[in-house]
Amino acid sequence: MKSNTLRFSTTDRPEFILELRKRVGAHFKENKISKYANANMKWKTVFMIFLYFTPLAMLLSGLITSVWPMMAMWILMGFGMSGIGLSIMHDANHGSYSKNKNVNNILGFLVNFLGAYHINWKIQHNVLHHSFTNVEGMDEDIANPVMRFSPGQDRKWIFRFQAYYAPMFYGIMTLYWFLSKDIEQIIRYNKKDLLKTQGISFRKGLTQVIFHKSWYLVLTLILPMLILPIVWWQVLLGFLMMHFISGIVLALIFQPAHVIQETNFFDPVETGSMENNWAVHQLLTTSNFANGSRLFSWLIGGLNFQIEHHLFPNICHIHYKSISSIVKKTALDYGIPYYEHKTFFGAVRSHFSLLNQLGTGAYDKKLAAS
């Protein structure tokens, strides 16, 4: 099924999203605030950028002369990668950081400093994931050859252990992104005519992927190997540790928002249509967690308010907490579920429980019995 052939219902409570947009719009108008980044968001931007680039500058300065200080720099860069990914480039590539497109483009480009390619990210996340959340064959966030994230995927015998080996694969997620995923995606997106949605040709996209990967490799691995007075494999170990930290953090923030026991999965291959309105679909496939923790929310880019993000990706995440009560009340007013876990660990537990059920077949039996 091509990414533009699936249609959502226009008759399933279309008034819900109209009323919700009206109420949220009134919130910003009455409080005289912009939906884009505020001073708090700009301070966070500076913090996260420094968290990544300061350790990198220390490594490249030659001031690091022993292994453990070097490892500490790689650890900080791992969290800096996560912070930039969750808090800055995510909003920028949604166009919600600033009303100035140039600002969004500059900050969105930061994903290339994390080893990824910004155009592919926009296609996978903005076009496919946000449009077709938890839809089998269309949402690439639930497509994984070594894990089963939805009941629509075939169950292999190895998947019975996926709840145990998942952390290992989560840890190499950004490394795989850097080494192989972007090449695979640029080829696949060209075949599906998805590169056109970003106004880019296959030749230009492939050239940019190779170019950006090359300078990233030189900047973050080859130069440290040449500059630091330690053996090459210790530098490589630090580089891999940075990616492992970032991969784990990113996976454990995004996966408990969609791949949990409470959310729904869809496989509309035969009909090519959905019975739900797009906005209703987002609430059925998305969940919040730990909404009471301001610090946690600040650190992870407000993505514990994943429902608000999916309904309003054009609003900077710094405002999600303030509009969450409006979203929840409106959803309940229209009889639509508003999934949420009080704690982050509760959401993670639900995710790994689902992984276990999908791997062993218990989830399939539960579906058959319902």
Distance CA 142, CA 255 (A): 9
Q: Is the pLDDT of residue 5 over 80?
A: no
Share of the chain above pLDDT 70, in %: 98
**pLDDT class of 2 with cuts at 50, 70, 90:** very low
C-alpha torsion angle, residues 260, 263, 269, 272 (rounded to 10): -150
Residue count of the chain? 370
Distance CA 370, CA 368 (A): 6
pLDDT, residue 270, reads 58
The residue-averaged pLDDT of 122-150 equals 95
DSSP class per residue in 117-130: -HHHHIIIIIIIIT
Token match 């700009």: residue?
42
pLDDT digits (tens, 9 = 90+) for 252-290: 999 999 999 999 999 886 557 788 999 999 999 999 999
Q: Is the pLDDT of residue 1 over 90?
A: no
8 A C-beta contact, residue 97 and residue 36: yes
**pLDDT class of 346 with cuts at 50, 70, 90:** very high
Residue type, 215: W
pTM check: above 0.75:
yes
Q: Is the pLDDT of residue 138 over 80?
A: yes
Phi-psi region of 147 (alpha: psi -120 to 50; beta: other; left: phi over 0): beta
E strand segments, 216-328? 287-289
Q: Is the pLDDT of residue 62 over 80?
A: yes
The residue-averaged pLDDT of 97-105 equals 97
Closest CA to 195 of 177, 214, 208: 208
8 A C-beta contact, residue 311 and residue 46: no
pLDDT digits (tens, 9 = 90+) for 215-253: 999 999 999 999 999 999 999 999 999 999 999 999 999
Coil, helix or strand at residue 135? strand
Per 3-state DSSP, the chain is made up of helix, strand and coil in percentages (nearest 5) of: 65, 5, 30
pLDDT digits (tens, 9 = 90+) for 148-190: 999 999 999 999 999 999 999 999 999 999 999 999 999 999 9
